[in-house]
Amino acid sequence: MTRRSDRIGDEIRRILAEALQRKLNDPRFHGIVSLTDVVVSPDLSTARVFYSVYGDDEKSEDVRQAFVKAAPFLRHTLSDKLRTRRIPRLIFKEDYSMKEGEKMDALIRRIQEESSQTRSGESEAL
């Protein structure tokens, strides 16, 4: 990515985060959605907006549907605040890295617990 598209992606993320927090009244967004990254194509025609959802798969699906419904409004909000000739088409993608990280943490904790139980069982046998 170029520095220009990086800067524009950061600005889009800031504008969209503010719009989600202050302008949208959809309860599916409040308190469970975080915008993690925006990747803008080199020609600025599309912006992939990555978001993370705190909750289960049902909430993830609700948020996905809410983004589909809110996309025209969010693009219009961008056109008001973003100073570029072309306003990119928004594509929303869920970012699973947080969920994957939580799974890895749970696995590590389980392995540590099993390891400590095994060590305590060996020391009792001595």
Same domain, 69 and 104: no
Same domain, 35 and 25: yes
Tens of pLDDT, residue by residue over 86-109, are 899 999 999 887 777 777 888 888
DSSP labels for 33-97?
A: EEEEEEEE-TTSSEEEEEEEE-S-HHHHHHHHHHHHHHHHHHHHHHHHH--SSSPPEEEEEE--H
The count of other CB atoms within 10 Å of the CB of residue 44 is 17
Same domain, 18 and 47: yes
d(CA 10, CA 89): 16
Same domain, 54 and 108: no
Q: Which domain holds residue 101?
A: 97-126
Instruction: Tally the domains of the chain.
Output: 2
Would the pTM count as exceeding 0.85? no
What dihedral angle (degrees, nearest 10) is formed by the CA atoms of 78, 83, 89, 94? Answer: -60
Same domain, 58 and 32: yes
Tens of pLDDT, residue by residue over 48-73, are 999 998 877 788 888 999 999 999 99
Same domain, 83 and 101: no
